[in-house]
Amino acid sequence: MGQKKDLTGSEKSKIVRYLAEGCSSLKIAKLLKRDHRTIKRFIQNSQQGCKKRVEKPRRKITAHELRKVKRAAAKMPLATSLAIFQSCNITGVPKSTRCAILRDMAKVRKAERRPPLNKTHKLKRQDWSKKYLKTDFSKVLWTDEMRVSLDGPDGWARGWIGKGQRAPVRLRRQQGGGGVLVWAGIIKDELVGPFRVEDGVKLNSQSYCQFLEDTFFKQWYRKKSASFKKNMIFMQDNAPSHASKYSTAWLARKGIKEERLMTWPPCSPDLNPIENLWSIIKSEIYKEGKQYTSLNSVWEAVVAAARNVDGEQIKTLRESMDGRLLSVLAKKGGYIGR
């Protein structure tokens, strides 16, 4: 057998494959027609480079210091581990040790994004809660739009991976690869829609009203009884296309006006139960970090997920409204948990 100085990349790959199949180094040398010593040297060097990591012992933290860290973590949300330990006058602790200690008492979380509430907003939220506190919410149609992208929200593609396994490859596309705008409503224990906004259409007052005409009114509302229409209360948020004079006048011509059109307080997504429905649907369509290759495929996933939402889930969301209103009043107009 001829001897060569270096193994090629192809030969190294074959060695790894043959080892995985249980071949001995001598057999591999014969298969590759290489010197046995060259094969053994490569295997030994590879094993030396894959030594198991030996964890260094943590610096010991006293019980008193631990209590100080716990109090500081509670007082300083979203602070770094270094800032927390420095506030406790605990120095000389490496980052790995700081993070290991904090993992036993805290979690790494992102700050929740919400519109800012000023004094006027809080007063309007309180007034709204008082106005609708005795409302029969089974007669309210809660509506909203949701945009779903091909890639899903940032940070949702995380999960546990077994030791020795590689993380799956995830596509990176600008703006999540594009998306679909979806409209839906919930009333009593029924899901209305979802309906898809035509791709490329920007919802202004005119296109919003035309969309409602082609979907909500023609496909659902017109089938309802006169008594149902008389008692139904239509809810929409204060998006410009919803709250404009054009849209308000158009809905009035449809008979949705005055007490049948719910007023909505500013900056209040936490009061709309359909926001929770969107969370249920997104959790389903993006589970396990799933991505989509076309707008039609992500729309089909939304429709399938919506079909799996049962009446009890919708009823639970609707029945949560009394508690939400009381929470707003208790917090003097402040945000509530959804």
How far apart CA 139 and CA 188 sit, in angstroms, is 7
- pLDDT, residue 245, reads 96
pLDDT number for residue 59: 66
Measuring CA to CA, which residue among 42, 31, 29, 23 is closest to residue 3?
A: 29
What residue type is assigned to position 81 of the chain? S
- Of 272, 271, 293, 261, nearest in space to 184 by CA: 272
pTM, to two decimals: 0.68
Instruction: Taking residues 316-334, report their average pLDDT.
Output: 94
Closest CA to 335 of 68, 55, 127, 121: 121
Mean pLDDT for the stretch of residues 50-62: 64
Residue bearing tokens 């936490």: 270
Task: Decide if pLDDT at 291 tops 90.
Answer: no
Give the CA count within 13 Å in the CB-facing half-sphere of 328.
28
* Number of neighbouring beta carbons within 10 Å of residue 162: 5
Percent share of the chain, pLDDT over 90: 55
- Is 1 a residue whose pLDDT tops 50? no
Is pLDDT of 227 > 80?
yes
Tell me the mean pLDDT in the region 186-209.
95
pLDDT tens, 64-77? 999 999 898 888 88
Residue 51 pLDDT exceeds 70: no
Say yes or no to pLDDT of 14 above 90.
no
Would you say residue 247 has pLDDT above 90? yes
Spatial contact of 169 and 307, defined as CB atoms under 8 Å apart: no
Q: Percent of the chain, pLDDT > 70?
A: 86
How many Å from the N-terminal Cα to the C-terminal Cα in the chain?
73
Distances (CA, A) of 274 to 17, 186, 208, 317: 53, 7, 19, 8
User: In the predicted model, is pLDDT for residue 166 greater than 90?
Assistant: no
Higher pLDDT, 156 or 89: 89
